[in-house]
Amino acid sequence: MTAQATSNSWDLDADVIVVGSGAAGLPAAIKAVEGGASVIVVEANYDVGGHAILSGGHMALGGGTSVQRKYGIEDSPDVVFSDLTDWSIVQPNGSPDFRYNDRAVMRAFADHCAQTFEFLLANGVEFTDKPPDNHGASTTGNSAPRENHAFWTKGAGLESPNAAPGTGVIRPLEASARTKGVKFLLNYKMTSLIREAGSNGSPGRVIGFTVQHTPHIMPGAKSSLKSFRSEGNIESDRPTMTLRARKAVVVATGGSTSHIEFRRMFDPRLTPVVQVGGEPYSYQDASGELAAMAVGASLWGLANQTLENGATMRTQRALATKYNYTTWKLESPIFPLVKATGFNVKDWQDLILVNQVGQRFYDETKGDVPHGNNGAQVTPYTPNDYRNAENVKYSPTKYNFTHAALAMNEYSEPPDYCAGPVWAIFDTDAVEREGWKITPPHVDPDGFFFAASTLAELAAAIKNEYQAKPMKGAVLEATVARYNSMVDRGEDSDFGKPAPKYKILTPPFYAAWATPVVHDTRSGLRINAKCQVIDMSGKVIPGLYCAGESAGGFNQHGMGRCATQGFICGIQAAAEPRGE
Ligand SMILES: Cc1cc2nc3c(=O)[nH]c(=O)nc-3n(C[C@H](O)[C@H](O)[C@H](O)COP(=O)(O)OP(=O)(O)OC[C@H]3O[C@@H](n4cnc5c(N)ncnc54)[C@H](O)[C@@H]3O)c2cc1C
C-alpha cells in the first residue's frame, strides 16, 4: 500500500488507527481488525515493539486463566478486582500499591484479564509451561500468583532488537496482525490529533491526526534500519501526512518517561541526568498525552507516578554505559547508538558508589526498591483490613538507593539543583575478581568510563555532560582512604555496608557510570472502563481511546495491564459508528 493524497485531503484512511505498536498497540489492532474494522498501526520507530520487545516477557495476567486452572490456582475476576483496589496493602517501604487505582479501570481490567491471556495464546504467543508465579512480578495482587513468562528463542521468525524474551510476545502478535490485514505505517510519528467541531459549537469527535516522518527517530541512527517484517507496510517518504480515522484513534504510545519536563511534573528530581530503560530503541516521549491534552483530555491517577513503586525507578544494571538498564547485545542493530554493553556487578563489595562530588552516600550492597505486592506476600491476608500492614516486613531504609542517589550535593546548583551522575569507583583487583572487560565495546570511554593511575588523576579525568563541575582529586582520595580504613576495621560507620571487604588500592583506578534509571510511567490520560479518553469536564472525547503506559488510573508494572487495555480498546473501537 502506498500513501496517496485523497480528494478530501486525507492522505490515509482507516476505520481504526492505533498509535504505537507495543504491548498495548498490537492487541488493540488485532481486536479491532477481528471486529471488522480496517486498521492502520502508526509507529514512530523503524520497527515494531516499543519497550515490550525489549522486555523480560513476564506478563501479569490472572483472573482464572487456562494455565491457572491447569495448575489448580484459584482466581477469578472478582478476586483480581478486590486485590488491585485493596487500599490496605503496603510495600515494605510503606508505599500503598493499589490505594489510588481507579476502580472502574480496575474492574474493566479484572473482567478482561483472563480473556487477554487466552487471546495472546490464540495469536501465537507461547508461555513457558509452568504454574504462574511471582517472578518478575510487580503489583499483581496478593491472592494468587499471576505472572506468566513468554517463551522465546532466537530465530524462527522471532528476530529481536536485543535478544529479549519480550520478542516472544511481540513478534507473534505482529505476525498475526499482519496476517489479519492490519497495515503498518512505520517511521511516522503522530504529532497532533484532529477533533472536529460538534453541534452547538462544542468540540466533537476525534477524526484523525497528523504525522511527521521520522526516519531518524533515534539520534544518529542509520536510515537504512528496516523493519523485520514488511508485508502490509505502507511505504511513504512524505515529510508530513494527515490520517483519517473513521471510527477511532487509539493512543498506545507508551507513556512519558522520555519527556524530561513532563516527567518532572511528577518528580522534579528527574532532570536529564536520569536515563530511561528502553532507550535508545524506544522513546516514550509523552507525545500521546500531549496530543490528547491539546484536544481537551485530562490526566488521571497522578499519585501513582510518585509512589515509591518497585519498577518506577531502578538501579543501574550495567555499569560504564549510558544505556545502563538494558544490557545491550553486540549484535543489536542499534548497537552503534548504544556504543557499549557495560558490565554487570556480581558482588557490590567490589566497588564504592560516589556522587558527582566524589562522596559516598549509601550501602552499595543494598538492592533495588521492591517490586509491588504479589501473590501471598502478605500472610495472613484479609482484603481491605487495615491490619494487613502489620504483616508486612516494614523496611524503608533498604529501598532508598535511588533517593539517596538523587539527593542534592555540593555541586547541585540552580536552576535545577540536579544531583548529577553516580560513579562506581574501583581498582584493578576488583576488575580481576569480577572478570570485567574494560575496553570498548564493553565500556564507553566517551563520558561513561574513565581510567587513571592515581585517584587524583581519575577525578580529573571524569568528564561528562551531566557532571556539573570537575570532581576534586582530594575529595575522591579522602573518600577512598576513609573507605579503606573501614575495610581494616570491618565496619562501615558511615552507611552501614556489612563488613566492607576490599580496599581500593591497586592502580589503575576506574570510574564507571552508575546513575539510576527511570523505568515505568504509572500515570497518564484519564480513561473510563471502555478505555475512552475523558476530558477536563469528565466527559468522553468521542473517537479517542488510550491503553498501556499512556493511560492513567492503574498502578501496575508492565505488559499485563497494557495488553489487556489494548484488548479492550480494540473491541470498543471496532464497535464505534463509522464516520463518512
Ligand atoms: C528493558 C525492559 C524490560 C521490561 N521487562 C518487562 C517484563 O518482563 N514484564 C513486564 O510486564 N513489563 C516489562 N517492561 C515494561 C513493559 O515493556 C512496558 O510496560 C510495556 O511495553 C508498555 O506497553 P505500551 O504499549 O504502553 O508501550 P510500548 O510497548 O513502549 O509501545 C509504545 C510504542 O509507541 C511508539 N510511539 C510513541 N509515541 C509515538 C507517536 N507519537 N507516534 C507513533 N508511535 C509512537 C513507541 O515508539 C513504541 O513503539 C520492561 C521494560 C523495559 C524497557
Q: Is the CB of 189 under 6 A from ligand 1?
A: yes
Tell me the helix, strand and coil percentages in the chain, rounded to 5: 25, 20, 55
Beta carbons of 419 and 269 less than 8 angstroms apart: yes
Beta strand pairing call for 313-314 and 517-518? antiparallel
Q: What is the mean pLDDT of residues 499-522?
A: 95
Q: Is the CB of 77 under 6 A from ligand 1?
A: no
Q: What is the mean pLDDT of residues 234-254?
A: 97
State percent of the chain over pLDDT 90.
82
Beta carbons of 242 and 194 less than 8 angstroms apart: yes
Can you spell out the DSSP letters for 508-563? Answer: SEEEEE---EE-----EE-B-TT-EEEBTTS-EEEEEEE-GGGB-S----SHHHHH
Closest Cα to atom 53 of ligand 1: 278
How much is the pLDDT for 392? 86
Q: What is the mean pLDDT of residues 477-497?
A: 98
Q: Is the CB of 279 under 6 A from ligand 1?
A: no
Q: Is the CB of 254 under 6 A from ligand 1?
A: yes
Beta carbons of 18 and 32 less than 8 angstroms apart: yes
Lowest mean pLDDT among 361-365, 436-440, 460-464: 361-365
Q: What is the spatial distance between Cα 265 and Cα 284, in angstroms, rounded to a whole number?
A: 15
Q: What is the mean pLDDT of residues 474-491?
A: 98
pLDDT of residue 368 exceeding 60: yes
pLDDT of residue 153 exceeding 90: no
By most ligand atoms within 8 Å of CB, the mutation choice from 43, 51, 293 for ligand 1 is: 51
Q: What is the mean pLDDT of residues 138-149?
A: 93
Q: Is the CB of 44 under 6 A from ligand 1?
A: yes
Coil, strand or helix at 361? coil
Angle at 182 between CA 176 and CA 183, to 5 degrees: 130
Residue 280: cis peptide before it, omega within 30 degrees of 0: yes
How much is the pLDDT for 400? 80
Torsion angle in degrees (nearest 10) through CA of 269, 272, 275, 276: 80
Reduced 3-state DSSP string for 27-82? HHHHHHHHCCCCEEEEECCCCCCHHHHHCCCEEECCCCCHHHHHCCCCCCHHHHHH
Q: Is the CB of 549 under 6 A from ligand 1?
A: yes
Closest CA to 43 of 220, 276, 211: 211
Compare 41 and 580 and report the one with higher pLDDT: 41
CA 73 to ligand 1 centroid distance, Å: 29
Closest Cα to atom 5 of ligand 1: 55
pLDDT band at 560 (very low <50, low <70, confident <90, very high): very high
Residue 510, judged by CB atoms within 10 A of its CB (0-12, 13-18, 19+), counts as buried
Closest Cα to atom 11 of ligand 1: 558
Q: Is the CB of 56 under 6 A from ligand 1?
A: yes
Beta carbons of 570 and 546 less than 8 angstroms apart: no
Over the chain, what is the mean pLDDT? Answer: 93
How much is the pLDDT for 7? 42
Q: What is the mean pLDDT of residues 358-377?
A: 85
Beta carbons of 197 and 231 less than 8 angstroms apart: no
CA 23 to ligand 1 centroid distance, Å: 6
How much is the pLDDT for 395? 77
Q: What is the spatial distance between Cα 371 and Cα 394, in angstroms, rounded to a whole number?
A: 14
Which amino acid type is present at position 121? L
Q: Is the CB of 518 under 6 A from ligand 1?
A: no
Q: Is the CB of 42 under 6 A from ligand 1?
A: yes
pLDDT of residue 305 exceeding 90: no
Beta carbons of 166 and 222 less than 8 angstroms apart: no
How much is the pLDDT for 73? 98
Q: What is the spatial distance between Cα 94 and Cα 393, in angstroms, rounded to a whole number?
A: 10
CA dist list (Å): 448 to 193, 249, 321, 512: 39, 41, 6, 6
Ligand 1 atom nearest residue 25's Cα: 25
Q: What is the spatial distance between Cα 387 and Cα 373, in angstroms, rounded to a whole number?
A: 15
Tens-place pLDDT, residues 193-230:
999 998 888 899 999 999 999 986 555 555 578 899 99
CA 166 to ligand 1 centroid distance, Å: 10
Tens-place pLDDT, residues 63-116:
999 999 999 999 999 999 999 999 999 888 888 989 999 999 999 999 999 999
Tens-place pLDDT, residues 17-35:
999 999 999 999 999 999 9
Reduced 3-state DSSP string for 247-303? EEEEECCCCCCCCHHHHHHHCCCCCCCCEECCCCCCCCCCHHHHHHHHCCECEECCH
Q: Is the CB of 168 under 6 A from ligand 1?
A: no
pLDDT of residue 501 exceeding 60: yes
CA 254 to ligand 1 centroid distance, Å: 5
Q: What is the spatial distance between Cα 172 and Cα 121, in angstroms, rounded to a whole number?
A: 10
Sequence-ordered list of residues with C-beta below 8 angstroms from that of 97, at least 6 positions apart, any chain: 89, 90, 91, 139, 307, 309, 372, 373, 555
Beta carbons of 335 and 449 less than 8 angstroms apart: no
By most ligand atoms within 8 Å of CB, the mutation choice from 55, 173, 174, 189 for ligand 1 is: 55
pLDDT band at 1 (very low <50, low <70, confident <90, very high): very low
Rg, the chain, Cα only = 24
Beta carbons of 116 and 108 less than 8 angstroms apart: no
Q: Is the CB of 139 under 6 A from ligand 1?
A: no
Q: What is the mean pLDDT of residues 439-461?
A: 98
Tens-place pLDDT, residues 517-537:
998 999 999 999 999 999 999
Q: What is the DSSP letter of 225?
A: -
pLDDT band at 370 (very low <50, low <70, confident <90, very high): low
- Biggest alpha carbon distance in the chain? 81
pTM: 0.96
Beta carbons of 117 and 146 less than 8 angstroms apart: no
CA 521 to ligand 1 centroid distance, Å: 10
Q: What is the spatial distance between Cα 46 and Cα 153, in angstroms, rounded to a whole number?
A: 22
CA 269 to ligand 1 centroid distance, Å: 23
Tens-place pLDDT, residues 317-335:
899 999 988 889 999 989 9
Can you spell out the DSSP letters for 376-422? Answer: TSSSS--TT-GGGGGGS---GGGG-HHHHHTS--TT--TTTT-----
Q: Is the CB of 187 under 6 A from ligand 1?
A: no
Compare 367 and 5 and report the one with higher pLDDT: 367
pLDDT band at 242 (very low <50, low <70, confident <90, very high): very high
Sequence-ordered list of residues with C-beta below 8 angstroms from that of 570, at least 6 positions apart, any chain: 16, 27, 28, 29, 30, 31, 32, 33, 34, 35, 250
Ligand 1 atom nearest residue 291's Cα: 41
Grid cell at residue 295: 484536544
Ligand 1 atom nearest residue 59's Cα: 11
How much is the pLDDT for 222? 54
Tens-place pLDDT, residues 264-298:
999 999 999 999 999 999 999 999 999 999 999 99
Tens-place pLDDT, residues 424-447:
999 999 999 999 999 999 999 999
pLDDT band at 5 (very low <50, low <70, confident <90, very high): very low
Torsion angle in degrees (nearest 10) through CA of 109, 111, 115, 117: 40
Torsion angle in degrees (nearest 10) through CA of 92, 141, 120, 558: -30
Which amino acid type is present at position 12? L
How much is the pLDDT for 563? 98
CA 283 to ligand 1 centroid distance, Å: 9
pLDDT band at 369 (very low <50, low <70, confident <90, very high): low
CA 8 to ligand 1 centroid distance, Å: 34
